[in-house]
Amino acid sequence: MLSIYSDRHRLHHGKTELIDGLMQPCFEMPQRLDMVLERVRSARLGEVQGPDAFGLAPVLRVHARPYVDFLASAWQQWQALGRSHDALPLNWPVRGLRTDRIPHDIDGQLGYFSMDAGVPITAGTWTAVQEAADVALTGARHLQWGQRSAFAMCRPPGHHAASDYMGGYCYLNNAAIAAQYLRDQGCRRVAVLDVDYHHGNGTQSIFYDRADVMFISLHADPLSEYPYFLGHADETGQGEGIGFNRNFPLPLGTDWNTYRPALDEACASLAAYGPDALVVSLGVDTFEKDPISGFRLRNQDYLRIGEAIGGLARPTLFVMEGGYAVADIGVNAVNVLQGFEARA
């Protein structure tokens, strides 16, 4: 399998995030992708190449221009105030507050364009997130050129980022950008399957009213787990998108015996939809040893996930999302890819 990777992901390295009521070191760190790359190479998965440059046009097919402009300028605005530490939001426009005006001040903008305090902006964040989008787009281009599958080693991840806000370590929605690119290049239908532990709220919101991109997510029940405010089973789409959004919220403690029936049902829905291409938001934070998650999947279960996806026999782009058990992240991600290749 062809893998796409860029060292520029290292330019984004947030120092702290707000979690459990404390400012703590970020779980989303460069070592995550180091371990994935090491495993890709040691398992001899296939060629690893760098990304092509696509510019902002494909990004703006998914993300709102004011939001992209904010990401591009945020660090410079922050630094102009004499601040050299990570930029983090301090307040958000919740119910009853106005959202029709974008604040001029960077502190206001950080709150306006975010959903939580897990999105530190550093000097290299904008370069890194652009590169992550290019990694995903390069993988999508190879599918367009006839490749059966590709693995986009994206960092930072993307599935919590909506068209106009960041959150959950995510700034640009790499999977959504790739899915839209595939549509723009002639795919009649595209599907996104999200197997990350956390619901892909950003991806859902981007495609929620559309029938040409189906979104399916298996994740921890949002009544008990982040992102809390999207990901319920009754969210099935709106307008033309009714019936093309499916959520499988699963209980804390889910192991393979609970996970497998949901995955089988999700794959049956994908098969019935018949996409020309499939984008997989590949999070492996469903692992039993993940420090910020509550599922109980084991190393060998990721081979089975890959086999199930491979059984769909669709051109497939895997886009790296979450996974914070650093020692095992590479093993689990590559197990999915090897399981896929064994079945596809």
Residue type, 256: W
Q: Is the pLDDT of residue 326 over 90?
A: yes
Phi, psi of 183 (to 5 degrees): -60, -45
C-alpha 235/C-alpha 245 separation (Å) is 7
Question: In the structure, what pLDDT confidence band is assigned to residue 283 with cuts at 50, 70 and 90?
Answer: very high
Contact (Cβ atoms closer than 8 angstroms) between residue 178 and residue 279: yes
In the set 13, 142, 160, 198, the catalytic residue is 160
The pLDDT value recorded for residue 19 is 84
CA-nearest of 323, 343, 344 to 153 is 323
Question: Above pLDDT 70, what percent of the chain?
Answer: 100
CA-nearest of 173, 179, 182, 135 to 154 is 135
Q: Is 160 a catalytic residue?
A: yes
CA-nearest of 254, 263, 328 to 291 is 328
Alpha carbon 105 to its chain's center: 29
Long-range CB contacts (within 8 A, 24+) of 222-229: 222/249, 223/249, 224/251, 224/252, 224/294, 225/197, 225/198, 225/252, 225/294, 226/168, 226/198, 227/115, 227/116, 227/160, 227/167, 227/168, 227/198, 227/199, 227/201, 229/201
Question: Above pLDDT 90, what percent of the chain?
Answer: 97
pTM score, whole prediction? 0.98
Question: In the structure, what pLDDT confidence band is assigned to residue 169 with cuts at 50, 70 and 90?
Answer: very high
C-alpha 68/C-alpha 71 separation (Å) is 5
Q: Is the pLDDT of residue 171 over 90?
A: yes
Q: What is the pLDDT of residues 141-153, one digit of tens each?
A: 999 999 999 999 9
Q: Is the pLDDT of residue 344 over 80?
A: no
